[in-house]
Amino acid sequence: MKYADLVKTINFANRKLLGRAAAAVNESLVIRNWLIGAYIVEFEQNGEDRARYGARLLERLATDLGERNMKGLDDPRILRDCRTLYRLYPQMRGTLSREFVADLPARSEIGQTLTDASTGKSDTPAIRGTVSRKSPAPLSPQLALQFSWSQLQELIRLDDPWKRTFYETECLKGQWSVRQLQRQIGSLLYERTGLSKDKESVVRRAHGQEPRETVQELLRDPYVLEFTGLAQRPAYSESDLESALLNHLQSFLLELGAGFCFEARQKRITVANKHDYIDLVFYHRRLRCHVLLDLKVRPFRHTDAGQMNFYLNWWKANALEPGDQAPVGILVCSDRDRTEVEFATAGMDNQLFVSRYLMALPAAEQLQRFLEADRARIEALTDRSSSEPALTAKSPVVKPARKK
């Protein structure tokens, strides 16, 4: 065997076994969520004290699971998706071992429409069209388990079984990622195919536009990371330069001594199964509010203000605690020649309140000077030697000028 063959063989074995590990983790996550849905249905139908919880069952359950550090299950919407998954994919029962089957509801109960007491709506999508319309044949349990949890969340939101079956088939054929599946659903591929005379051409063109899902994409899925107990690393979504600048911005704001308390890095927010990440989150003791900071290593774009406004609105709706004031956003954008710093204070109509914010937060010019100097220093170090260790939060930072 030549040395080149040795490297090639090791690389092949690594890729194959990494793929098996990713598939095993994904299957376990999907089965767990299917079981959670089954247990919820069993409690709602036969629980001795189910009447005590009623419409608030999922909210109460999410709170109790969150207190037991079950990340990803502390959201009632996720539990509702688990319940729907159980209803729409009963064939997954065939993948379970005996230890789980004994506690499941009887087969006859699967497929009955379940009404969510909190909304009065069925969480089992109905078939559009006539009652006599034939239902499509279900996927085998083995094929159903090839979907990731994120993909299944997209599929169970489709209210037409034939439409869902279409996207199941095409997703399996093309090995689409969840983003690719979302894009094809959003582009109405099913409807366009139905209206087209040359249906195969439409589908073939769609597959030609979509790259195949990689093992790395699955292993970085936030739900997979939470399920395995692994932390989401900032390196997943940041370049080395962005990571270094955020390390220094974090230290810079803490060293201001003006009430900043660090709370989170790469804080994930999820809306409609789409994940966004806020770079840094602080709590300001004097202002009694959260400060959300987002960094863009490029010039300011008008869409950045909309993104920050989205973060602020989400925070006000989902993360405010009693006594908290409205959050404030700091958007820091820069490139080699130009720096822009924008403060998002939308919704704070009281001028005195705005003044309190601006007095307690660092001035835009102060952040500009710091960011320009820090970026120039980081890039100079990187250019000098690409072999040096990556910069960390312990690297020396430019000392901010104390307010008098």
Query: Which pLDDT tens digit goes with each residue over 45-59?
Result: 888 788 888 778 999
Where is mean pLDDT largest: 38-52, 82-96, 193-207, 357-371?
82-96
Cβ–Cβ < 8 Å for 293, 277 = no
| Mean pLDDT for the chain overall | 77
Residue count (the chain):
404
| Pairwise CA distance, residues 250 & 245, whole Å | 8
pLDDT of 352? 53
pLDDT in tens, 109-162: 444 434 444 444 445 444 333 334 578 888 898 899 999 999 999 999 998 999
- In terms of pLDDT, which residue wins out, 50 or 231? 50
Beta-carbon contacts of residue 227 (< 8 Å; ≥ 6 apart): 25, 28, 29, 32, 72
The 260-271 sheet, strands edge to edge: 260-271, 274-284, 289-296, 328-334, 339-344
pLDDT in tens, 209-228: 666 666 666 666 777 777 77
Cβ–Cβ < 8 Å for 360, 284 = yes
The residue among 216, 176, 252 whose CA lies nearest residue 15 is 216
Residue 349 has pLDDT above 90, yes or no: no
pLDDT of 212? 66
Domains and CATH numbers, the chain: 3-127+135-219 (no CATH), 234-384 (3.40.1350.10)
Lowest mean pLDDT: which of 11-25, 280-294, 337-351, 381-395? 381-395
The residue among 167, 185, 116 whose CA lies nearest residue 125 is 116
Cβ–Cβ < 8 Å for 150, 178 = yes
Cα dist from 244 to 31, 299, 374, whole Å: 39, 18, 9
- Mean pLDDT, residues 369-397: 63
For the beta carbon of residue 146, count every other beta carbon within 10 angstroms. 17
Calculate the dihedral angle through the C-alpha atoms of 86, 89, 93, 99, rounding to the nearest 10 degrees: -30
pLDDT of 387? 52
